[in-house]
C-alpha cells in the first residue's frame, strides 16, 4: 500500500512540474525572421531606463566561451559566472579550445548545453556569436561541412551562398548561437595575403558583393544576425593583423572601386553588423597611432555617415597584436578609443577588468556622454529583442538531432564543393585517373592492400599530426587501394626526400596535394601559401623529376602555382574542408564534371575566370 501511495505522489508531482506542450514551445527560442515588434521596442525602452551605468558598460563587451563541459564549481565556469555577475557582459563569442596548431572541435550538444547554462546565469538575455565562416563545422563536429568562401566564388552561383546562409543559420540557432561573424566582405586582391585568402569569395568586388548579399538573405530567413567584415577592407594586405599592423595602401579612389563596394552591397542587403579591422589606412587616417578600429574618420565618418550604416558596429578582437602593441602601456584604453571611434560592441578585450574600468572612468568623467553610451546599448538590446530573446532565450536540446547535419544539407554542401573544382592546367597525360575495381568488400582485420608505386601521393601539410589529408587518403584508397601515400611537413621533408623522389621516379602517376589555408594568429600558419622551406624544395624536386606525370592539387590557396611555374597539371579546391578533399579525388578520377573558374588571378599563371572544363567521360 505504501508503494502505491508513493507512486501516486510521484506521478502527481511529475504532472504538476512537467511543462505543457504550449509552455514548452514558449520556453525555447525559435528561429524566425528577424523583426523588432512593438513589444520588443517596449522591452528595450523599459530595460534601458532601469539599467545602471555599470550594467550599460557591461553590455558593450563580448568575451570568449569555449564549448566544453564544465563542472559548476570549476575555475573556468566560475570565471564565466563572474563575468556575467560582476561585469554584466552582454554577449559571448562561442569557440573551442586550441592547442598550438590543433583546433579541438567540440560537439553540438556540449555547445548548446553551455549556452543554456550561461543564459540561465544572466539577468538579461545574452547575445551568442561565433566565427562560423565555413558553417558550424568550423568549430563543431557532426554539423554540415561546407567549403571555404572562395570555393563559392569558383562555383559562381549566388544561390549556393544563400543556401549556405540558410543552413548555417538553422544549425546555429539550434545550438543557441544568434550571430555569425560572416560573411567576409574583403576583396582578396593581394596574392600575398596570409590571413584573408580563401576566406574571401574572390578578387572581383561585384562578385564578392553578390555573394555577401546572398548569404545575408539566406541567414536572415532563418533568424541569424550577420556581420560584414573586415571594414574598410583587409584583402589588399600582406600581414596577419593578429600578429602585427597590416596596411591598406591604396588611395581613396581604389577604396571606392575595390574595397568598399561589397560593404555597400552588404548594407543594402540589411547586414546587421559590420566588424572593423585593425588595419592602417593612410588614405583615410593619417595618424600612425590609429588603426581603423580606433579611427573616428573610418568608423563614424566613413561607415556611419558616408555609407549610412545604422546597425551594430563591432570591433575586431581587441586582443590582437595589431592593437595591443599600440596600447601596451595602457591596455584598457584601447576599449575607450574604439568606443569613441564609433564601435558599439567591444570584442575580446585582452584584460576585461582593465577595459571595463577604463570605460567606467570615461563615462564618469564625461569623456563618453550618457547619450553616446545609451545609443550603443540600445542597439544591443534591440538586436536581442529582434530575436525574441526577451521572451525565450534557451534552446531545446531534444530538437537538435532533427535539425543539425541533415543528409540533404550535407549533399548540397558536397555539390557546392564539387562545382568549385577548377582545372587551371592540363597536359592531357594524367587526368582522369583509372580506378581499380576490387572484387570484394574488405573485411575487418584483413591484411592491408600491398603498397605499390603505381600511384604515389605526397600530402604536404603544415603539421603531419593534423587532420589535413586524411579524407583525401581515404577517398584515394577506395579507388587506388595500392597507392603509396606520404605525409610531409617542413620538419621531416628533407629526411624523406630521397625515398619520395625514388617512388616518384617509379610511379605511373604522382599526386602532390598541398594544404595551404590561412591560419589566424599562427605565425607561419598556412605557410603553404608561399613555401620557402624544405617542403618547397621537395615539391620543386618532384616537378623536376616527374612534371609530366604529376598533378598538383592546391587544397586551399590557389596561389600556390605562382611559386611552381613548371607545373603541367594544376587543380584547385579553394578549401581544405573534408568535402573539398573528397571533391578533389572525385575530379581526379573523372567522376564529376570539372566546371569551376578561378575567382582570383594567379600571377604569371592564369587570369581570373580561367577554368578548363571537363565533362564526365
Which residues does the annotation mark as catalytic?
A: 242, 316
What is d(CA 578, CA 524) in angstroms, rounded to the nearest whole number? 22
What is 392-432 written as a DSSP string?
Answer: --B--GGGGGGTTT-HHHHHHHHHHHHHH-EEEE--SSSPS
DSSP-derived 3-state class of residue 24: helix
What is d(CA 449, CA 476) in angstroms, rounded to the nearest whole number? 13
Within 13 Å and on the Cβ side, how many CA atoms surround 124?
Answer: 30
Whether the CB-CB separation of 294 and 280 falls below 8 Å is answered with no
What is d(CA 516, CA 526) in angstroms, rounded to the nearest whole number? 5
Within 13 Å and on the Cβ side, how many CA atoms surround 444?
Answer: 0
What is d(CA 64, CA 464) in angstroms, rounded to the nearest whole number? 29
What is d(CA 303, CA 238) in angstroms, rounded to the nearest whole number? 23
- Per the omega criterion (within 30 degrees of 0), is the bond before 371 cis? no
What is d(CA 224, CA 138) in angstroms, rounded to the nearest whole number? 17
Rg (CA), the chain: 26
Q: For 299, which DSSP code?
A: I
DSSP-derived 3-state class of residue 360: helix
What is d(CA 60, CA 381) in angstroms, rounded to the nearest whole number? 10
Whether the CB-CB separation of 327 and 290 falls below 8 Å is answered with no
Amino acid at each position: 500500500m505504501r508503494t502505491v501511495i508513493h507512486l501516486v505522489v510521484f506521478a502527481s508531482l511529475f504532472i504538476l512540474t512537467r511543462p505543457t506542450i504550449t509552455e514548452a514551445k514558449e520556453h525555447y527560442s525559435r528561429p524566425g525572421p528577424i523583426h523588432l515588434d512593438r513589444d520588443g521596442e517596449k522591452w528595450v525602452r523599459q530595460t534601458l531606463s532601469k539599467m545602471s551605468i555599470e550594467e550599460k558598460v557591461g553590455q558593450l563587451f563580448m568575451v570568449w566561451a569555449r564549448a566544453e563541459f564544465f563542472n559548476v564549481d570549476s575555475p573556468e565556469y566560475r570565471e564565466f559566472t563572474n563575468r556575467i555577475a560582476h561585469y554584466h557582459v552582454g554577449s559571448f563569442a562561442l569557440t573551442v579550445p586550441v592547442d598550438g596548431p590543433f583546433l579541438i572541435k567540440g560537439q553540438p550538444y556540449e555547445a548548446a548545453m553551455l549556452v543554456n547554462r550561461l543564459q540561465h546565469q544572466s539577468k538579461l538575455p545574452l547575445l551568442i556569436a561565433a566565427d562560423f565562416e565555413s558553417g558550424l563545422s568550423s568549430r563543431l563536429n557532426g554539423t554540415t561541412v561546407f567549403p571555404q568562401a572562395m570555393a563559392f566564388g569558383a562555383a559562381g552561383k549566388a544561390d549556393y551562398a544563400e543556401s549556405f546562409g540558410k543552413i548555417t543559420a538553422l544549425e546555429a540557432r539550434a545550438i543557441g548561437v544568434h550571430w555569425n561573424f560572416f560573411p567576409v566582405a574583403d576583396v582578396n586582391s593581394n596574392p600575398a595575403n596570409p590571413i584573408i585568402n580563401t576566406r574571401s569569395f574572390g578578387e572581383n568586388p561585384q562578385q564578392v558583393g553578390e555573394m555577401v548579399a546572398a548569404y545575408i538573405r539566406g541567414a536572415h530567413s532563418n533568424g541569424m544576425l550577420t556581420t560584414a567584415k573586415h571594414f574598410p577592407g583587409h584583402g589588399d594586405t600582406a600581414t596577419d593583423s593578429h600578429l602585427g599592423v597590416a596596411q591598406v595602401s591604396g588611395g581613396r579612389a581604389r577604396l571606392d572601386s575595390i574595397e568598399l563596394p561589397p560593404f555597400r552591397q552588404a548594407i543594402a542587403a540589411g547586414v546587421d553588423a559590420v566588424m572593423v579591422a585593425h588595419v592602417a589606412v593612410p588614405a583615410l587616417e593619417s595618424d600612425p597611432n590609429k588603426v581603423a578600429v580606433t579611427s573616428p574618420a573610418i568608423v563614424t565618418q566613413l561607415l556611419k555617415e558616408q555609407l549610412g550604416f545604422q546597425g551594430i558596429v563591432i570591433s575586431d578582437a581587441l586582443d590582437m597584436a595589431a592593437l595591443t602593441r599600440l596600447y601596451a602601456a595602457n591596455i584598457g584604453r584601447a576599449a575607450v578609443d574604439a568606443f569613441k571611434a564609433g564601435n558599439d560592441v567591444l570584442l575580446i578585450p585582452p584584460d576585461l577588468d582593465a577595459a571595463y574600468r577604463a570605460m567606467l572612468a570615461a563615462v564618469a568623467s564625461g569623456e563618453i556622454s550618457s547619450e553616446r553610451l545609451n545609443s550603443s546599448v540600445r542597439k544591443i538590446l534591440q538586436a536581442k529583442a529582434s530575436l525574441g530573446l526577451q521572451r525565450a532565450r534557451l534552446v531545446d536540446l531534444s530538437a537538435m538531432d532533427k535539425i543539425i547535419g541533415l543528409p540533404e544539407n550535407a549533399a548540397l554542401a558536397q555539390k557546392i564543393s564539387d562545382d568549385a573544382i577548377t582545372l587551371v592546367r592540363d597536359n592531357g597525360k594524367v587526368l582522369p585517373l583509372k580506378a581499380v575495381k576490387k572484387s570484394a568488400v574488405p573485411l575487418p582485420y584483413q591484411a592491408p592492400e600491398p603498397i605499390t608505386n603505381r600511384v604515389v601521393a605526397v600530402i604536404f601539410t603544415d603539421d603531419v599530426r593534423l587532420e589535413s589529408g586524411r579524407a583525401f587518403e581515404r577517398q584515394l584508397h577506395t579507388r587506388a587501394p595500392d597507392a603509396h601515400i606520404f605525409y610531409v611537413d617542413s620538419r621531416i621533408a628533407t629526411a624523406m626526400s630521397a625515398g619520395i623522389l625514388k617512388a616518384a621516379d617509379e610511379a605511373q602517376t604522382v599526386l602532390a596535394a598541398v594544404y595551404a589555408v590561412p591560419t589566424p594568429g599562427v605565425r607561419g600558419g598556412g605557410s603553404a601559401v608561399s613555401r620557402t622551406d624544405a617542403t618547397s624544395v621537395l615539391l620543386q624536386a618532384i616537378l623536376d623529376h616527374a612534371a609530366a606525370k604529376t598533378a598538383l592539387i592546391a587544397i586551399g590557396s590557389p596561389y600556390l602555382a605562382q611559386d611552381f611555374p613548371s607545373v603541367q597539371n594544376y587543380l584547385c579546391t579553394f578549401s581544405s574542408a573534408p568535402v573539398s578533399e573528397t571533391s578533389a579525388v572525385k575530379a581526379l578520377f573523372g567522376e564529376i564534371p570539372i566546371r569551376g573558374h578561378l575567382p582570383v588571378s594567379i600571377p604569371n599563371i592564369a587570369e581570373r575566370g580561367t577554368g578548363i572544363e571537363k565533362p564526365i567521360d
